[in-house]
Amino acid sequence: MTSEIFFQTLINGLFTGGIYALVSIGLTLIYGVMVIVNFAHGEFLTIGIYTAFWSVTLLGIDPYMSIPIAIIIAGILGAVIQRGLVQQVLDSHPLHQIVLLVGVSLLLIGVIQFSFGAEPKAMHVPYETEVIQLFGLRMAIPRLIAFGASLFISIGLFIFLQYTKIGKAIRAVSQSRQAASLMGINVNLIYMLTFGIGAAITAVAGVLLSPNHRMIPTMGEAYSVIAFLVVVLGTMGNFVGAFIGGLIIGLVEAYAGFYLGGDVKIIASMLIFIVILLFKPSGLFGRKR
Amino acid sequence: MGNMSTHSINNQNKLIQFLFGTWERTQLSISAGLLLLMVFSPLVIKSPYYIGVITLACLYAFIGISWNIISGFCGQLLIAHIIFIGLGGYTTIVLLNNYGISPWIGIPIGGFVSGIAGVVVALITVRYGLKLDYFALFTIALLVALRTLFLKWEFVGGAVGMYLRQETPSLNRMIFISKLPYLYIACSLLLFGIIIQYLTYKSKFGKYFIAIREDETAAAALGVNLTKYKTLAVMIGTALAGLGGGFYIIYVTYIDPTGIFNLGFNAEMVMASPIIGGLGSLVGPILGALVNKPIAEIIRANLAEARSGITMIVYGIFLISAVLFLPRGLAGLIQTLYYRWFHGITSTHQEGE
């Protein structure tokens, strides 16, 4: 592997990792606050990518202009699912939580497939194959935009969580539900909000992925699994951990893909997942419980 | 005369007592009744299509039982249970196609292979203390890894999958023209499953499973060997799943990695029946399968041609509403009625949940 290929693979890995980071941040946020693994998480990405597709097809706008639409659709849907369904099982056995969310996942996939058909779709934008050359490295424009936007949104959300009143309330609830409630925080509202935000940024990841990307209703599952992996790697509930974990998995996939071939890279990721689960389930940033 | 009638009333009472004396016996009687209904259904139902639906309902009940032992009795969140159905199925069809070994031997070997795989998975996860969500995620990662592996593995057909060769009917190869033999094999499997489930439930280790489900730490403190009994529960369940998988492949004549190592199909085949029927009860998987399979099949036949996706919507709603409105499933509902009718108890505290 020459240094040029090495750096090219690095760039590709980081670009993929940016999307993974965004999806995983949504999952880790929901887990951190509600201690529930959102098994329907990838479906919000599917919602995002289909929103971009239909915005381009029907409204004729640029896919990136559909980000606000995706935020509104996924955000409201997420909040409704939280209030209507997830809220009811917050104190139930984990099995009931998992079964409920698997049900939600099937329902969402079913509705998407019913509405738009099971056949693969792809969306095209004029600049999808344009490439920027920088220090001899090739960067496709849509992927560069996706990476920049992922960074921007992640940092923005981090600042929001650190410095705004609502962000502090979210962090307070994730630390202790009772204490937060005693401080006058409306815990149920924070739950709804957090699920909405988690769903919305995942949908944004879908929009960012949309140019020149094949889409099928069941595509979310792959991203769910990657998000589980990233979130466990970066310690469940840890925001920064999910971001760094996303980049790491992106890089691992890029290099594994280079050496082992396109499909086998998934096995590499899954083996990493299994090894982490076995040897350090608390993740890179976790303390021993 | 009077004497005679008191005598027969006494006998009748004894029979009722025998069949419905306790909730356990009631569950067994209902299971046996439903099984007999399925066995004798061809007397009324002649259409091969509906016989096929009943056969699959029977198989789903059997697979539901296999998951019920792991998740319902022992409380282990082996979500991607379909892994072991796939392994059993692949074993059976590889043995038949590549080595000419009859399914009558291949299906038990499939069960054996799945059971061994289950033991390996259980030992690894218990050794490293994976529990609840983490265990569930582990099984899903395993599912995705196996799917990718099987897609690349040309020996088992790769992405194309494997078809049953030689479609000439023969008892030895378990290929029949009529649908009836398949129904009877499925019914025998279900009978076997009901017996294994009941024996597990009644046995000492079955009680340990339930203790582990209720409170792992407390069970360990009382001297229950967690590694041993969790592994045992997973082994029984996965071995049964392997048997079910082997028969499933022979019945549908086809297997491929994306079709079988699939979370949506997992929800349909593994999770839906016990969840609807009542996880942790004896009769739940059978009740659930009889609701789950026929309804889904009717929808698939009547609506799915117009638009795909309906089946998934239905299963999604099944799972969601079972959790929200019927957390103890149909069995829980029947149990409440049972205590009201037979024992005059209106509020029940029971073992099911």
Cβ-count burial A227-242 (b if 16+ within 10 Å, e if not): bbbbbbbbbbbbbebb
Q: Which of residues 160-219 of A touch B (CB under 8 A)?
A: 217-218
Of A37, A47, A86, the C-alpha closest to A200 is A47
**Nearest residue in A to B264, CA atom:** A106
Q: Does B322 touch chain A (CB under 8 A)?
A: yes
| Contact: A100, B79; criterion CB under 8 Å | no
Inter-chain touch B145–A267, beta carbons under 8 Å: yes
3-state SS class at A137: strand
Nearest to residue B125, comparing CAs of A251, A222, A82, A279? Answer: A279
Q: Which residue of A has its CA nearest to B276?
A: A99
Q: What pLDDT, in 10s, does the model give residues B102-136?
A: 999 999 999 999 999 999 999 988 887 787 888 88
pLDDT at B351: 45
What pLDDT was estimated at residue B4?
Answer: 55
Distance from CA of A75 to the nearest CA of B (A): 20
Nearest residue in A to B135, CA atom: A277
- The overall pTM is greater than 0.80: yes
Q: Is A62 on the interface with B (CB under 8 A)?
A: no
Distance from CA of A221 to the nearest CA of B (A): 8
**Chain B residues within 8 A of A217 when measuring between CB atoms:** 309
Compute CA B110 distance to the chain's CA centroid, rounded to the nearest angstrom. 16
Q: Comparing A1 with B89, which gets the higher pLDDT?
A: B89
How far apart, in Å, do the first and last CA atoms of chain B sit? 48
A277: nearest CB among B134, B144, B271: B134
Which positions in chain B touch A271 (Cβ < 8 Å)? 145
pLDDT at A99 over 70: yes
Predicted confidence band of residue A287 (pLDDT cuts 50, 70, 90) = low
A-chain residues near B152 (CB < 8 A): 263-264
CB-based contact B126:B235 (threshold 8 Å): no
- How much is the pLDDT for B306? 55
Helix-strand-coil split of chain B, %, nearest 5: 75, 0, 20
- Tell whether A276 lies on the interface with B, counting CB pairs under 8 A: no
Q: Can you list the domains of chain A with their CATH numbers?
A: 3-119+142-279 (1.10.3470)
Long-range CB contacts (< 8 A, 24+ apart) of B335-344? B335/B23, B335/B281, B338/B20, B338/B23, B338/B26, B339/B23, B342/B20
Answer yes or no: do B307 and A217 touch at CB < 8 A. Answer: no
* Minimum distance, in Å, between the CA of residue A231 and any CA atom of chain B: 11
> Does the CB of B208 have a partner CB in chain A at under 8 Å?
no
Q: Scanning every residue of chain B, which has its alpha carbon at the shortest distance from the alpha carbon of A217?
A: B309
Q: Which residues on chain A are in Cβ contact (under 8 Å) with B149?
A: 267
The residue count of chain A comes to: 289
Q: Which residue of chain B comes nearest to A37, CA vs CA?
A: B133
Chain A from 100 to 139: CB within 8 A of any B CB: 100, 102-115, 117-118
Cβ-based neighbour number of residue B132 at 10 Å: 17
List chain B residues with pLDDT less than 50.
1, 348, 350-353
**CA contacts within 13 A on the Cβ side of A154:** 28
Residue A289 has what pLDDT? 42
- Asked if B301 is an interface residue toward chain A (Cβ–Cβ < 8 A), one would say no
Task: Kindly state the tokens that stand for B321.
Answer: 């509403």
Residue A4's pLDDT band, with cuts at 50, 70 and 90, is confident
Angle CA(B250)–CA(B255)–CA(B260) in degrees, nearest 5?
115
Q: Which pLDDT belongs to residue B167?
A: 67
Stated as kind and residue range, the H or E segment containing A140 is: strand A137-140
Q: What is the pLDDT of residues A194-236, one digit of tens each?
A: 999 999 999 999 999 988 788 999 899 889 989 998 988 888 8
Domain ranges within chain B, ordered by starting residue: 43-266
Residues A23-74: pLDDT tens digits?
A: 999 999 999 899 899 999 999 999 999 999 999 888 888 889 999 999 999 9
Do the Cβ atoms of B319 and A103 come within 8 Å?
Answer: yes
Q: Do A110 and B140 touch (CB under 8 A)?
A: no
Are B324 and A85 in contact (CB < 8 Å)? yes
- Angle among Cα A228, A239, A45 to the nearest 5 degrees reads 50
Substitution target in B323, B325, B353 with the highest count of A β-carbons within 10 Å is B323
Residue of A nearest to B280 (CA): A95
Percent of residues, chain B, with pLDDT higher than 70: 93
Best B151, B217, B263 residue to mutate vs chain A (most A CBs within 10 Å):
B263
Dihedral of alpha carbons A232, A236, A240, A246, sign: positive
ipTM field: 0.88
Cβ-defined contact of A102 to B267 (cutoff 8 Å): yes
Of A14, A72, A15, A74, residue with least CA distance to A42: A74
Closest listed residue to residue A97, CA positions, set B66, B73, B79: B79
